[in-house]
Amino acid sequence: MRSYWFGDIGDGGCHPAEGDTGARVQRLQSLRTTMDNYVLLNWEDAVACGICNDRAGYLAALRELCFAAAEQQIREQYAGKDTELLQMVRTLDEMDEAINLLSERVTEWHQVRHPTFSRKYRRTPAHIQVKNIALKGRGALGMVATQVEQLAAARTDLAKEVSARAGRVLPNTSALIGGLVAARLMSAAGGLLPLSRLPGSAIQVLGARTALFAHLRTKSPSPKHGVIFQHRRVHNAPKERRGKVARALAGKLAIAARLDYFRGVAVPEFLDDAQARIDRIGTGDSP
Amino acid sequence: MIYIGDVLVSRGEGGVYSERMLAGARIWDPFRSKLAALYYSGTGVELTPEMRVLYLGAANGTTVSHVADYTDVVYAVEFAPRPMQDLLEVARRRQNLVPIMADASRPELYAPLVEAVDLLYQDVAQPDQAAILIRNCVFLRPGGMAILMLKTRSVDIRKSPEEVFRDTMAELAAAGLTVVESVWLSPYHKDHAAIVCSKSPGN
């Protein structure tokens, strides 16, 4: 028996594929074709099958099926929960850059309008400064400052969403270094699958590309940490122990990423063990 | 092929990738499309209105849309979801374009959709380009033509483009394909070669 998208052809003639387009897509995907002695499809068989009347009808029916199948496959590909998280965390990082740039610029602009204004001896954080400008500034300056404020508000919301989603997509990695940093690690690796394939040593320096290649090319020291520096365990560790902490943490992260990819749920035994080990190294209690 | 003056064009609905128009026809840019570059080099396979084409590595539908302007039907195979979204949009407006989301190296997955074709065109960035072409030759009718756009840098970055080219030619010949012509696509595309083969009418 030979099976094609429109039906099965056997000794007893043709059995057309039944059901609506969705059912036909399912049938198509369940077909197991082998290419040995394969008999090519002949579109006239579809006419004999009663699927269509002519060539134009054949193509129309085939196209309908192909569109439905492709759309379903695209949806499945994107359904992998990490694809949206990837876009979210990259958006977040780009928003940070935009907000910083614009805040700086707005402040500079404000300074030109107010010759007596100076930021010296003022401990005003940048976002408060922008807020003041938004309240006082007239015309375009005030409007831009207001927009920067709103962008910052959206950024805060997005950061919360990223953390929450990272907790679901990367439960083990997030438990070790927090949702935001876990998501950034995944973004730097290019996805959950690529991250789970990286060795600990690569995870340790993810996001320190410039330093890593400078090290490989010249005699500069190797980077101790990349993205994982953002986690307090690494940046709060005493300087002489930071490299050690980063190395241990990265090793555990490599395992965590694999658990996230293959199991997708938090594994308490592993996490307790890993937390204890990293803490030990962080406080210098272990050899 | 249709030329207006010495500009290659195809007749169909424009606006696929903001291509320029000339006297109501779509200009087919050799710097964007490797197939157009092949025609500009003075060779290539003449596309005819009754031709059926299997196109592997359709990407965003840029070149595919031009091929569809010339031919009866084009089966366009693409694997990655992002370009597939664009390809579907192009295919919605071209009734003779059949979009297939599948891996070109696994013909068994889309064999139930594809009929015998007159032309097999392959432009995928994979190291086993020749093997993929050979595996897909089952869809090619006896006497049909195959065009391989060889991305030498995707095949093996350590070998020189000339070396990759020679190896590929040998591989195609060993599989029973007759190489009709082969050209480098410079100056339009660097380190890319087009190899035109024919399948013997015998089997």
- Residues A26-36: pLDDT tens digits? 999 998 888 88
CB B45 within 8 A of CB B109: no
Q: Is B49 on the interface with A (CB under 8 A)?
A: no
Q: Is B1 on the interface with A (CB under 8 A)?
A: no
> Model confidence over B46-58: pLDDT tens digits?
999 999 999 999 9
Angle between helical axes of A268-283 and A239-262 (0-180°, round to 10) = 170
Q: Is B109 on the interface with A (CB under 8 A)?
A: yes
What is the least distance, in Å, from the CA of B200 to any CA of chain A?
Answer: 17
Neighbours of A10 (CB within 10 A): 11
Euclidean distance between CA atoms A105 and A134, whole angstroms: 13
Q: Across the interface, which of B88, B113, B139 has its CB nearest the CB of A62?
A: B113
Chain A residue numbers with beta carbons less than 8 Å from the beta carbon of B135 are: 35
- When pLDDT is averaged across residues A69-95 and rounded to a whole number, the result is 90
What is the least distance, in Å, from the CA of A66 to any CA of chain B?
Answer: 6
Token pair in block for residue B100: 């297939």
Angle between helical axes of A55-79 and B81-92 (0-180°, round to 10) = 150
For the range A69-75, what are the long-range contacts, defined as Cβ-Cβ under 8 Å and sequence gap of 24 or more?
Answer: A69/A25, A69/A28, A69/A29, A69/B100, A69/B101, A70/B84, A70/B88, A70/B99, A70/B100, A70/B101, A71/B88, A72/A25, A73/B81, A73/B84, A73/B101, A74/B81, A74/B84, A74/B85, A74/B101
Q: Across the interface, which of A5, A35, A67 has its CB nearest the CB of B88?
A: A67
pLDDT of residue B39: 95
Residue in this structure with the two tokens 């560790």, named with its chain if needed: A237
Q: Where are the beta strands (DSSP E) in chain A?
A: 2-4, 7-10, 13-16
Strand partners, B181: B196
Per DSSP, the three-state class of A166 is helix
Q: Kindly report the CA angle at A75 between A74 and A78, in degrees rounded to 5? A: 85
> Model confidence over A179-213: pLDDT tens digits?
999 999 999 999 999 999 999 999 999 988 888 88
Q: Is B98 on the interface with A (CB under 8 A)?
A: yes
Confidence of residue A11 (pLDDT cuts 50, 70, 90): confident
Per DSSP, the three-state class of A265 is coil
pLDDT of residue B53: 97
Per DSSP, the three-state class of A277 is helix
Amino acid letter for position A225 = H
Selection from B119, B114, B124 nearest residue A65 by Cα: B114
pLDDT of residue A286: 53
Q: Across the interface, which of B96, B109, B111 has its CB nearest the CB of A59?
A: B96
Q: Is B137 on the interface with A (CB under 8 A)?
A: no
CA distances in angstroms from B11 to B24, B28, B69, listed in the order given: 8, 10, 6
pLDDT of residue A285: 61
CB hemisphere CA count around A182 (13 angstroms): 28
- When pLDDT is averaged across residues A227-245 and rounded to a whole number, the result is 86
Confidence of residue A2 (pLDDT cuts 50, 70, 90): confident
Annotate B88-106 with b (16+ C-beta within 10 A) or e (fewer): bebbeebebbbbbbbbbbe
pTM: 0.80
- Chain-centroid distance, C-alpha B172: 16
Euclidean distance between CA atoms A52 and A42, whole angstroms: 13
Residue in this structure with the two tokens 């965003």, named with its chain if needed: B60
Euclidean distance between CA atoms A90 and A266, whole angstroms: 24
pLDDT of residue B92: 94
Selection from A96, A265, A91, A84 nearest residue A191 by Cα: A84
CB B157 within 8 A of CB B142: no
> Model confidence over A13-71: pLDDT tens digits?
888 888 889 999 999 999 888 888 888 999 999 998 888 999 999 999 999 999 999 99
Q: Which residues of chain B have pLDDT under 50?
A: none
What is the least distance, in Å, from the CA of A59 to any CA of chain B?
Answer: 7
Q: Is B159 left (phi over 0), alpha (psi -120 to 50) or beta?
A: beta
> Model confidence over A128-187: pLDDT tens digits?
888 888 888 788 999 999 999 999 999 999 999 999 999 999 999 999 999 999 999 999
B73-78 and B2-4: which strand pairing? unpaired
CB hemisphere CA count around A137 (13 angstroms): 23
CA distances in angstroms from B154 to B64, B127, B186, B192, listed in the order given: 21, 6, 17, 10
pLDDT of residue A74: 92
Contact at CB, B100 and A70, closer than 8 angstroms: yes
CB B40 within 8 A of CB B33: no
Neighbours of A133 (CB within 10 A): 23
CB B70 within 8 A of CB B49: yes
Residue in this structure with the two tokens 């840029």, named with its chain if needed: B62
What is the least distance, in Å, from the CA of B31 to any CA of chain A?
Answer: 29
Strand partners, B117: B140
Residue in this structure with the two tokens 């030498």, named with its chain if needed: B152
